[in-house]
Every structure is written in C-alpha cells, then in structure tokens.
A and B are shown apart, each in its own frame.
Chain A
Amino acid sequence: MSSDLLRVESVSKRFGPVQALSEVSFSVGNGEIVGVAGENGAGKSTLIKILAGIYHADHGAAYLDGKPYAPRDSNVAVRAGLAVFHQEIPVCPHLSITANIFLGSKMPTKYFMPDWRTMEARCVELYRVLLDEDVNPRAVVREVSAAERQLALLVRVLSRDAKLIILDEPTTALTPPEVARLFRVIRNLREKGISFIFVSHMLEELIDLSDRIVVLRDGKHIGTLVREEFALDVLSRMIAGRTLTPPARMMANSSKQQVVLSVNNLGVKGHFSDVSFSLRAGEILGVAGLTGSGRSVLLRSLFGLHPVESGEVTLNNRRVRIRSPYDAIKQGVGYVPEDRKTMGLFPHQDIKTNVCMARTAQRADLSSKNNSGMRRDAALMKEELSIKFRDEDDPIGALSGGNQQKVLLSRWLLLEPTIILMNEPTRGVDVGAKKEIYDLLFTLTARGFSFIITSPAIEELLITSDRVLVMNRGRVRSIFNRAEATKEAVIHAATT
C-alpha cells in the first residue's frame, strides 16, 4: 500500500442537510489511471474539490507519497504536485501557447525583459518530450482548438512537476479524433509515471482509458472495478444502483384526447427542417437526439427564440405565428430552460417575484404589482408542488436546485398554459428531487397539461415520455410510442 501515490481514507463531507461524501476510501498508484464514475450529485465533484484544496473534508485523511495531505487551498495542492482540469479551462485566450505555459512561474529573462526565444524553444521541447507532439509555440490560444488548449494546459502543469492530474470531464468539448489523441497522450504520460484521476459521464471512455474504476453513488463508495471486470452493463448498474423501472403511469385513453399542438414541416435555417409531429392533451413527448441534432433548437423555436423559416404550427386548433417568447406565452406555451442560473432565475429577487414573473410580464405596465397577491400565489404553488421554503419573501438563492426547478415550473402553471416545454428538466438536481419532479409531471398531465421534454439523458425521456421523437442531423428520424421506445432503439435512431 505504501507504494501508492495517493491514498484517501474514509473521507466525509456534509453540506447542511446533504451528506455529499461519506467514508470514501480509495488509492491511486504511480503511473495509474483511476476512473471515477457516478451520477450527478453522487459526490464526484465534491471529492475532486477536496483533493484540490477548495473544500475541506469533515472527517478522514489523505496521503500523498505517504505523507499526510490536507491542502489548505488550491495553491498548496498545486505545490504538492496535484493539478485539476476543469470542464472550463482557465487560460489567457489572447496570449500565445508559450505565454500560457510559462505565465506565473519564473520566466527566463534577458535584459529584464521576458526572453521569448528561450521560452518558445523550451515550449517546443516540452511538447516533444512530454507529449510526443509538435506545436506552434506562437499560436494564440483563442485561435486553436479546444483539444490544443487542453494539451497546452497539460504541458503547463507537467512543466511544474505535477505528479497527479485530475481530469474532470475532459472530453465534453472534443470531437472523437481529438478524444483519441488526448487519450494517446494520457497513456504516454502514464508510461512516464504520471498518475491520473479521470472523472467522466461517458462510460465507454471510462472503460477505454482507466486501469481501475471507482464508482460513487449518493456520496458513498459503492465499489471498485478492475480492468477484467469492466463491462458497460455492470458499470451502469453500479452507478444507478437499481435498474430504473418506469413508474406506473396511467396512460389510458390518451389517444382519445384531443390534439393540442400540431407541427407541420417546421424548419429553422441551419438547424432542422421538415419537422412534423402532434401532441395531445395530457401527453408527454420526449425529444431525443445528439448535441447538434436540432432537438434543443426545436424547443426554442416553438417558444419564439429562433426565427422559423418554413412550416406551420397549430395550437388549440388555431394557426399561430410565434415570433417571441411574449407571443408564445400569449398562445399558451411555457418554457423551462436548461440552465436555471443563467436563463431562469432572478438572483436578487425574492421567491414570490420569481414564481410570479411570467404572469407579471403579461400584465400592463401600470397595473399594480400586488405583493399580497404574489404572496398568495407563491404559497399556493408551495403547497401544490410541495416546494420547500420558509417564507415567500426569502431570497431565491436559499432554495436547493430541485426546489428552484419547481419554482420555474410553477411560474408557468400560474398562467395555465396548454403546453410546457422543458429543456433538461432535472439538470443539476439530486436523485430524490428528480423523482419528485417526474411524479409532478405525471400529476400535471392528469390535469390536462401537455409537455415536450428534451434531454441528453435518454433514460430520462424513456421514463417520462408517452412517445419519443428522435432527431438526427436536423430531421425527425422516428417517433416511438412507449412500447417501442427502448434505449437501444433510440440510440440507434439518433446515431445512424
């Protein structure tokens, strides 16, 4: 055991009522790649942040090279030889690759000026020795690809004697060939004795690259797989903890319900064309597809956020033209965006204002703000959707992710729209809240609300939707009903 580079022993961390990590132990050997798998909220990022010195563990200990390791802040962690790659890579975009690599450290100088020639030469050498790659040291970082940027960052940390590199979802912005290249570089570095912790949602990538995989669920270390045990189904079962069974949902006589929305040959230039489908009262339609297939733009265009080029939309038996969100809302469409923070919430306004915002937006400018009415509506929504908050006047930031999501949903319910569009309805909410939101959707459909949901998580669509529409390169590839919609069928339709 003493030959391990990093040893983590029963580390725990609690945030208020949430036990983010409990008693997690694992180790990373020299020249080993350890994968970390788990759902959102399983504790992966908490673990990374503790190792990087951003959070501090409540209990437990860690040892780096046999010495106790409890970094006070991220600088201490870096000095100890640990580097973290985030989803968003911090670089100075207007400077050259060389500058980004040497910035902050002791630069070689000549007559008190930075000695760029020496640095560029050393940059090229570093690339060759460490990565076995060629580089244009003068290329401006803003103009190179995401993959090049990552390599520059790798070189940067390696030139500072990093021994353990944590890769946090490093492939999200990369194309498949770029991923292959990154993996080749990582394997090369492993041969040189550098260790990696590799965190990813992509199970195939975890299996491809890792020597061992640590699985976290609800903050607990569920188990560790070694290479011989790697298999997609084993891994996904360990991550999910159970095979998710679709909740029993009465879909009786839904086909007898009237059609509330029909879309004919809809097209948005550069995104999709010839999209046709219909939606019945009380129905949930899932829209699946890869990133860039047009599924997200489809929802946004129905809400007036993208100018429609061709086709027609019929809502409640009336032909409508939706040019702006204001129009859409007037016609009875609501939209819950994928990113609560940047697209949904008003951080400095209180809960009641956030709940009632869509209705306030529809009211005449000079009509009364009506604080007591807003309070009453917020309290009503609190009860209807079991949103957990203390007072309607509290700031919105006091709510958890799941409750904030309910606030965004309640914003539309107050207007009683015909259709609610939801883009990634459970992004960034924990497992319990996820189930609550699904149950809520089912209750609401029973009352006649219709939903169109899109999400990159196919399981989510399979669980919630009555039918699944699959987009593929800007076209509708197929529409499955509940019986036909299996994960394999959807993936097949989305990718071929």
Chain B
Amino acid sequence: MQRLPDSGYIDKAATRDTSVTVRGLKGAWSRAFLVRDFGIGIVAVLIGLVFSLTSPVFLSAYNLLNLLRQTSELGMVAMAMTILIIAGEFDLSVGAIYAVAGVVTGLVAKHLGIEMWAAAGCGLISALILGLLNGLLVTTTKINSFIATLSTMMVYRGIAMVLSQGQPISSFLVEPEFFDIMGRGKGFGTIPVPIFWMAGWGVLLFFLLHRTAFGVKVYATGDNAEAATLAGIKITRVKRIGFVLTSLAAGLAGLVSLGYLKTITPTQGTGLELEAIAAAVIGGTSMAGGVGSIVGTFIGTFIMAEVRTGLVLLGTDAYIQDAFVGLVIALAVIINIKLTERGRTKS
C-alpha cells in the first residue's frame, strides 16, 4: 500500500528555522546557565579558588593529579550509578560488590595459582553476576531498589567476609605489570594510571548515555516509566543493564584499588554507595529520575575530592572533615538549583 507520497515521512527535506535573535552579552550569560552542568562547574571552580587562596599548593599539578587519583574509584562508580539513577533506580550494594570483586580476584590468584589477569577476570565476572542479581531482584519483584539493594548490600558484604574469613589478602606472587597497569604505574611519566581508567570509563559512559539510543531510553525510563513502556521501551531491560553497568564499575574500581594497594580488605568500600549517590546528586542528578549527566557527576566527584584535599592542606582536624563534606554537599546542591532556576527564568 502506497501510503505516503515521496519516499515517506522521514526522508522529506525539512526546513528548520535557523534565525537566531541577537541577544546581548547578558543574554549570553544567562543562556549559559541553561547549558547542562554549567552551574555546577562554576561551583567547582569557586571552591578551587577559595582553597588556592588559603593554600598555594592546592592548584599545583601534583596536588590536582593526586586528588584525581584518589577520587578515580569513586568517580567510576558514581558515573555508572548516575545512569542507574536517571533510569529511576539506585544501588546501595556497590561498596560490597567492590569488595567482593577484589576478594574473589585475590583468592583465585593466591589459591588457584592462576595468573593475575585471569583472576581479575573472575573478579569482574563475579561483580557482573551480583549486579545482574540486583537487576533481576528489582525488576521481577518490583521491590523498591532502596530496600532490595540494602539487603543485597548486606548479603554481598557477607560473601566478601566469608570468602576471606575476614582477613586482608596480600603478598601476591610477583607479577608487577598487573599492579602497574591497574594502579601503581604512571602514564606520560606523571599521570597515575587510575586517572586513565576513570577517564576511559567516563568517556565510554558519556557516549553510552548522551550519544546512543540506549541513553535516550534511560532518560525516558526514569522520566516516565509508563509512557516509556507505551512508547515501546523495554524498561526492565534498561534497568537491568543499568544495574550491570553499575556493578561492572564497582568491580573495575575494586581492581584499581587492588592494583594500587596490592592488598584487599573485605571491609573495603564501606560507604562508597552513599558517596557515589552524593556525587551524582551534587552533579545535578535528580533522585526522581530522568535528569542528570555524566559530566555533572564527574564534577560532583571532583568537588567532594576538592573539599577533602583542601581541608587536609589547611591542616584541619581529621575528625571534622566529614562534617564539612556534608555541608558542601548541601551547599553545592542548593547553589546548583538556584543557578539553574535563574538561567531558566531569564531565558
């Protein structure tokens, strides 16, 4: 049946109104706030400036690289978690998965005598399986993901503890290239490798979320799940993939940690889940789903690291640092919301 003339609806050339009204510099400034992540970027720069005034070392390349290295594991997890949160779910078990991946890798390498890389593969696969379990649990039972992953968090942590008998695993057979590539080495002479892992993973997720059809489905699922279903999106599938991606990030981060420290403790990564959620929220991700970005979350992670490092350089009491980080989370979110609102009302 020839329904539409020409070659159909889609290919017909369309004229797009490209006339741009000339607005002043002020217009450009307020329009800039509409650009995603602009507001939170400003916050990050401001915090950096404040700390550099009080401590000149703060803005040095050494300090910044160190800061990025320290935050790279959190960054990887937080960026993946962002995708999951945008899709309307979240995962409290990432810290435990991070531990399980490390413990499995360590045990396989030590007791089965397999080479380190294959052991790391086992660790990653175990993370992946745990993530898939999370996804299946949440999508089939429809339990709220807060409750579901709160329980798997405890189960997975238990697995890490039982497997390792609560003991740290270290003193591996010498296989230096694994540890160099995963955590201890430096690229271009100065840049610690964890930063490359974070950057690579970040770019991958950026393309996935912002440049592919899958990304659109993620936003749609979190924005309006019913409408997404009616538009033909398989939201269960989207959510499961989100859980697997998040667990994969946790596993990868666990391996980076193993590479850097050459040791694994089964209690490692406690609290990682909340820091990851905090970073995503600082970066403008909405807990209601449908809103957020990879770059925003990266900046969110960066801000948290800035504050911690800045406070260390200031020589503040270690006990008060967490309190400050908490304050900064609240402030950054408030400022971000206000700036975005202003940009929106002015345009």
B180 / chain A contacts, CB cutoff of 8 Å: none
B318 interface contact, C-beta 8 A: no
Contact present for A416 and B9 (CB under 8 Å): yes
Give A320-366 interface residues, CB cut-off 8 Å to B: 324-326, 328-330, 335, 337, 342-349, 353, 357-358, 360-366
Give B1-30 interface residues, CB cut-off 8 Å to A: 1-4, 8-10, 12, 14-17
A258 / chain B contacts, CB cutoff of 8 Å: 1
A281 interface contact, C-beta 8 A: yes
- Interface-located stretch among B228-236, B254-262, B330-338: B228-236
Contact present for B219 and A380 (CB under 8 Å): no
**Contact flag A376-B14 (CB < 8 Å), given A348-B291, A353-B216, A369-B212:** yes
**Contact flag A347-B223 (CB < 8 Å), given A358-B232, A368-B212, A447-B4:** yes
A54 interface contact, C-beta 8 A: no
B169 interface contact, C-beta 8 A: no
Give A368-426 interface residues, CB cut-off 8 Å to B: 368-369, 375-377, 379-380, 383-384, 391-392, 411, 413-414, 416
Contact present for A366 and B290 (CB under 8 Å): no
Contact present for A360 and B217 (CB under 8 Å): yes
The CA of A379 and the CA of B14, in the complex, are separated in Å by 6
**Contact flag A367-B3 (CB < 8 Å), given A361-B233, A411-B231:** no
**Contact flag A369-B211 (CB < 8 Å), given A346-B290, A357-B220:** yes
Contact present for B10 and A377 (CB under 8 Å): yes
Output the least CB separation between B244 and chain A (Å): 12
Output the least CB separation between A466 and chain B (Å): 18
Output the least CB separation between A386 and chain B (Å): 14
The CA of A353 and the CA of B231, in the complex, are separated in Å by 12
Contact present for A349 and B213 (CB under 8 Å): no
Contact size class for B?
Answer: 35 or more
B17 / chain A contacts, CB cutoff of 8 Å: 379, 391
Query: Which residue on chain B has the smallest CB distance to residue A326?
Result: B232
Contact present for B226 and A367 (CB under 8 Å): no
A307 interface contact, C-beta 8 A: no
Contact present for B232 and A329 (CB under 8 Å): yes
B342 interface contact, C-beta 8 A: no
Contact present for B9 and A343 (CB under 8 Å): no
B227 interface contact, C-beta 8 A: yes
Output the least CB separation between A487 and chain B (Å): 31
A449 interface contact, C-beta 8 A: yes
Contact present for A379 and B15 (CB under 8 Å): yes
User: Which of B16, B227, B291 makes the CB contact (< 8 A) with A379?
Assistant: B16
- Between B216, B217, B226, the greatest number of chain A beta carbons within 10 A of the residue's beta carbon is seen for B216
A342 / chain B contacts, CB cutoff of 8 Å: 224, 226-227
Query: Which residue on chain A has the smallest CB distance to residue B215?
Result: A369
Output the least CB separation between B87 and chain A (Å): 13
B196 interface contact, C-beta 8 A: no
Output the least CB separation between A269 and chain B (Å): 21
The CA of A449 and the CA of B215, in the complex, are separated in Å by 31
Contact present for A348 and B232 (CB under 8 Å): no
Output the least CB separation between B295 and chain A (Å): 16
Contact present for B220 and A343 (CB under 8 Å): no
Contact present for B219 and A346 (CB under 8 Å): yes
Output the least CB separation between A345 and chain B (Å): 6
B210 interface contact, C-beta 8 A: yes
B286 / chain A contacts, CB cutoff of 8 Å: 348
Contact present for A416 and B3 (CB under 8 Å): yes
Output the least CB separation between A326 and chain B (Å): 5
Output the least CB separation between A340 and chain B (Å): 9
Output the least CB separation between A58 and chain B (Å): 22
B206 interface contact, C-beta 8 A: no
Contact present for B232 and A362 (CB under 8 Å): yes
Contact present for A360 and B3 (CB under 8 Å): no
The CA of A353 and the CA of B224, in the complex, are separated in Å by 13
Contact present for A325 and B232 (CB under 8 Å): yes
A326 / chain B contacts, CB cutoff of 8 Å: 232-234
What are 18 A-B pairs with beta-carbon distances under 8 A?
Answer: A303-B230, A325-B229, A326-B232, A342-B226, A343-B230, A345-B224, A346-B219, A349-B223, A349-B290, A361-B233, A366-B213, A367-B213, A369-B211, A369-B212, A379-B14, A380-B10, A411-B231, A448-B1
Known: A324-B234, A411-B231. 11 other contacts (CB 8 A): A346-B290, A347-B223, A348-B286, A348-B291, A358-B232, A360-B220, A363-B213, A368-B212, A369-B211, A380-B12, A416-B4
Residue ranges of B at the interface with A (Cβ–Cβ < 8 Å)? 1-4, 8-10, 12, 14-17, 210-217, 219-220, 223-224, 226-234, 241, 286, 290-291
Residue ranges of A at the interface with B (Cβ–Cβ < 8 Å)? 258, 281, 303, 305, 324-326, 328-330, 335, 337, 342-349, 353, 357-358, 360-369, 375-377, 379-380, 383-384, 391-392, 411, 413-414, 416, 447-449
10 nearest A-B residue pairs (beta carbon): A365-B214, A361-B232, A448-B3, A329-B232, A363-B213, A380-B14, A346-B223, A361-B233, A379-B14, A348-B290
